[in-house]
Structure 1
Amino acid sequence: MSPLSDTAPIDTVRTRGVGARLLGGPDERSWPTSSAGQTTRAALSPLRFPRSSLRGDGHFTVFRSDQNGLGARHLGIGMSISAAVIAVFLAVRLVVEWDQAPTPTLSIVAWLLLAAIAVGVNLAVHELSSRMPMWLFLLALGLCAIVVALDLAGSMGIPGTAAFPTAAPAVGAFLLTIATLRESRDITLAALALGVIMGAATLLEARSDVLTLGPDILGVTLAVVPPVVGASIVQAFRRMVQRELDLVLVQSTVSQPRFAVGMLASEQLARLDLDAETLLDDVAQGRTALPLAASTATTAASLATQLRVHLIEGRTETWLHHAITESEFLGPVVALSDPAGLAGLLSPTQREGLLLTIWLLIGDTQRSGASVSLRFGPIAPTRGVGLQHQVRFPIQLTTTGVSRRRVDPETWQAICAVGPHMDSNWAGSLRVDIECSVDNPADA
């Protein structure tokens, strides 16, 4: 089966059957998986503004990065080095205070257990392909709780000593090493719980001199601050990468026809097409006997139904509609009103300029509550010689929570690529009226 000419380019296919899975049931395929059409992925090069005009080629596939991929591995190495420095400092502190600790043997046992936890988790994560499941995380936290209890028991007891826990703060360093393997929320909650336990032990400890409180405060700080800061850095990094990937995927819609199916629908259509080709090839080669078995016939009917649905749906939705609705960041904050599908008439340069304008207006993560509303049309009458081959219509862009003085200069350059404009600022929000002129599709 050949790709339809009036749909968006389909460049990514997969070998796994999805006909039955799209219908919500298990895979009912009775034919072997075809080796033809292996998965292909174009290199995803994150784009950062300002840059020259974006060039989307539609060779991208939708996926979500794993917790330790897309550069986070290098970030994890840096955090592990930082955690090692903290651990060495605390270990040296234990050696210096060996004579002052009430029960140094318990602290030594706590350190040995913590080292075993670190090595064991590292080996387990390596075997699990750089992933740390919840059961492993909870097991590590349970063992770390034993480390904290042993170290606190070994460092508390004699009033007036300057000894303070060392293995317990090192648990915070361990949390820092796994910050890229778990959600930032999990690391933050674990670090705060560690701080609460150590803080409570500090307040309950009998002391003859208030100055001895300083080393304990340092221990609590070393236990809480590094993992919390590391978790916030990892969270910001993940959000940045997801935004860049989202931008690349959204940009691929610029080259679509005026009316076409979206990115996700194109991928589904490619999968259905591959499943149908595999079934027909198996029948032609004799691998699947005729008449078809009941399960195979049901799967074939499902594939046919899904293909017919794709043939008739989505023919009134423009590239801009798909770019907004299929974007994780644009969808919740951008409202589009384009009943006539005028966005599909824009030239590639105008499309890039409009998409870049929207992205820059809401791209600043510090602007909480910012939103953009777009209204296209109606088509204005054309008068004068030489204007009959042009279609003119207004584009009204209204923002909420974005003032004119905070708009980046690159935004105005992108707006100029769409057409002449007039802007106004009212109640702290920006409104831009763009007069857009495009080639008359009737002359094509």
Structure 2
Amino acid sequence: MSHVAAPAPIAESAPSVDRLSSGINLAANVILALCFLFFIADITFVTALPLDLAAWVILIVVTTLTQLRTSRRVRLPSSWFMWARIAFGVVLVLDVFGVLDQVGSNVWGPFPTAAMATGAGLAMFATTQKARSILMATGALGILLVADIVLTAKTAYAFDAAPGIVSIAIAIIPPTLAVAIVQSFRNMVEFQSDLSQAKGTTTGAGASLGLSASEQLVRLDAQAEKLLDDVASGRTPLPLPEEIAEEASAIATQLRMNLVAGKSETWLYHALTESSVLGSISTIDDPDGLAAGLAPDQRDGLLTAIWMFAGDGERVAQSLTVSVRRSSGAAGQNQRLAIILELIGVPKRRIDPAAWQAISRVGRYSDSFQTPTLRIDVDCALDVVADR
């Protein structure tokens, strides 16, 4: 089925890292308050109250400093995460010995509540530390809590074990979720950043050198200029020595190759192949450089659609092929292009409706899906062919 053009989607504002940190800190504070209420409820069953109180004081101090550091209100050493983990270990030891031999003495506890709350403390580091470090610390915390509750519980009844299971979940779920959220956020930011960089190609020349080729051209130009300056100043005699002549020939060859490539590699080629997200899966089949003839709005629509079809920041297509050919019915000034997108590993139900709005800005399109390939055929009209 063919579709007609629709209005372009409205871009959403980028999320804030500071807001993400604030949200995680707020959730951690709620968990800390909940665990503290459990501690107050169990206080009459605690045999070594000074140890438990010391554990809570250390925990509150560390989490408060961590949040102040996150909000940039205080400056702490770069090794703060290491010191925080040591402090959390001390909290765990003090809290466990504070309720030793009393765990499970009744269905409500007492349980090592400060140790449970250290999971929330670890979650606060999710935006500043590597996920692996936090998950390893979380795993160690979970293992120690399981060992403490299993070895010191008074009964083995499933009903009595339920609060212990909940306490372990309270300890390990918050940092695990925080790491997952931050990782998803980073994937999304990388995806959007790469897309923004790629969109910069839609307003430039239809065919030109890419970023890497441009940097290489600058280096070659500098080498050629130095060689010519040496000859002009007499530092390099004429005729050129064999070694310098070979160097000059290599520079000239590379310059010609870059200039030829600049005439055949279009904006679409550079936008996809130089992308850190889609570069490894993309194949561009446009031998005549016809994509250079697309108008800026058509380029933007095509590039936006390709990115929305191929990935969402979390998952990326297994393969992406873009073919551009002159339409068989094209003639005169009203030239038409046939653009074919083939994507493997993209379920059609997962595609954002805005992707179809974006592709409609390029031209009339039709789509078909035959597992595992999604194919989109676009009939694109060109009124003016851009210089390539």
Q: TM-score, normalised by structure 1?
A: 0.66
Task: Determine the structure 1 residue equivalent to 2:184.
Answer: 236
% same residue? 31
Alignment equivalent of 2:58, drawn from 105, 109, 113: 113
User: Does the CA contact (< 8 Å) of 2:317 and 2:343 recur in 1?
Assistant: no
| CA distance 1:403–1:168, change in 2 (3 Å) | closer
Alignment equivalent of 1:398, drawn from 326, 329, 342: 342
User: Does the CA contact (< 8 Å) of 1:54 and 1:352 recur in 2?
Assistant: no
Inter-partner Cα distance in structure 1 for 2:334 and 2:209: 27
Inter-partner Cα distance in structure 2 for 1:198 and 1:167: 11
Tell me the CA shift for residue 121 of structure 1: 4.3
1:320-377: CA deviations, max 9, x gaps?
A: 1111123232223332122221111112222122112212212345656443211222
User: Does the CA contact (< 8 Å) of 1:404 and 1:429 recur in 2?
Assistant: no
SS of the counterpart of 1:97?
helix
1:281-323: CA deviations, max 9, x gaps?
A: xxxxxxxxxxxxxxxxxxxxxxxx99x9789735132111111
| CA distance 1:124–1:233, change in 2 (3 Å) | closer
Alignment equivalent of 2:369, drawn from 394, 402, 425: 425
Tell me the CA shift for residue 394 of structure 1: 2.6
Q: Structure 1 residue 179 and structure 2 residue 126: aligned?
A: yes
Task: Determine the structure 2 residue equivalent to 1:203.
Answer: 150
Q: Structure 1 residue 192 and structure 2 residue 139: aligned?
A: yes
Inter-partner Cα distance in structure 2 for 1:144 and 1:183: 18
Inter-partner Cα distance in structure 1 for 2:39 and 2:380: 72
| CA distance 1:129–1:373, change in 2 (3 Å) | farther
Task: Determine the structure 1 residue equivalent to 2:332.
Answer: 388
Q: TM-score, normalised by structure 2?
A: 0.75
Alignment of 1:75-94 (within 5 A): 75-94=20-39
Task: Determine the structure 2 residue equivalent to 1:52.
Answer: 8
User: Does the CA contact (< 8 Å) of 2:63 and 2:121 recur in 1?
Assistant: yes
RMSD: 4.2
| CA distance 1:84–1:391, change in 2 (3 Å) | same
User: Does the CA contact (< 8 Å) of 1:125 and 1:131 recur in 2?
Assistant: no
Alignment of 1:154-173 (within 5 A): 154-158=98-102, 160-161=105-106, 162-173=109-120
Alignment of 1:45-444 (within 5 A): 52=8, 71-121=16-66, 133=78, 135-158=79-102, 160-161=105-106, 162-208=109-155, 210=157, 211-263=159-211, 313=258, 314-315=261-262, 316-364=264-312, 369-377=317-325, 380=328, 382=330, 387-402=331-346, 407-439=351-383, 441=385
Inter-partner Cα distance in structure 1 for 2:28 and 2:119: 8
Tell me the CA shift for residue 438 of structure 1: 2.5
Inter-partner Cα distance in structure 1 for 2:95 and 2:124: 20
Task: Determine the structure 2 residue equivalent to 1:297.
Answer: none
SS of the counterpart of 2:361?
helix
Amino acid in structure 2 at the alignment position of 1:149: V
Inter-partner Cα distance in structure 1 for 2:155 and 2:385: 88
User: Does the CA contact (< 8 Å) of 1:393 and 1:436 recur in 2?
Assistant: yes
Amino acid in structure 2 at the alignment position of 1:118: T
User: Does the CA contact (< 8 Å) of 1:379 and 1:392 recur in 2?
Assistant: yes
The count of corresponding residues between Structure 1 and Structure 2 is: 352
Inter-partner Cα distance in structure 2 for 1:339 and 1:371: 20
SS of the counterpart of 1:418?
coil
Inter-partner Cα distance in structure 2 for 1:225 and 1:158: 25
Higher helix share: 2
Inter-partner Cα distance in structure 1 for 2:73 and 2:209: 38
| CA distance 1:413–1:126, change in 2 (3 Å) | closer
Tell me the CA shift for residue 144 of structure 1: 1.3
1:369-391: CA deviations, max 9, x gaps?
A: 44321122267575xxxx32344
Amino acid in structure 2 at the alignment position of 1:157: D
| CA distance 1:416–1:379, change in 2 (3 Å) | same
User: Does the CA contact (< 8 Å) of 1:172 and 1:226 recur in 2?
Assistant: yes
Tell me the CA shift for residue 258 of structure 1: 1.7
SS of the counterpart of 2:46?
coil
SS of the counterpart of 2:50?
helix
- The unaligned stretches of length 5 or more in structure 1 are 1-49, 56-68, 276-304
Range with greater deviation from structure 2 (84-93 or 342-351): 84-93
Inter-partner Cα distance in structure 1 for 2:374 and 2:351: 9
Amino acid in structure 2 at the alignment position of 1:198: L
Inter-partner Cα distance in structure 2 for 1:241 and 1:329: 12
- The unaligned stretches of length 5 or more in structure 2 are 1-5, 223-249
Inter-partner Cα distance in structure 1 for 2:82 and 2:360: 55
SS of the counterpart of 1:436?
strand
Tell me the CA shift for residue 130 of structure 1: 8.1
Tell me the CA shift for residue 423 of structure 1: 3.7
Range with greater deviation from structure 2 (423-432 or 331-340): 423-432
Alignment of 1:3-14 (within 5 A): none
Inter-partner Cα distance in structure 2 for 1:224 and 1:148: 14
Tell me the CA shift for residue 111 of structure 1: 1.8
SS of the counterpart of 1:335?
strand
| CA distance 1:238–1:51, change in 2 (3 Å) | farther
Amino acid in structure 2 at the alignment position of 1:415: I
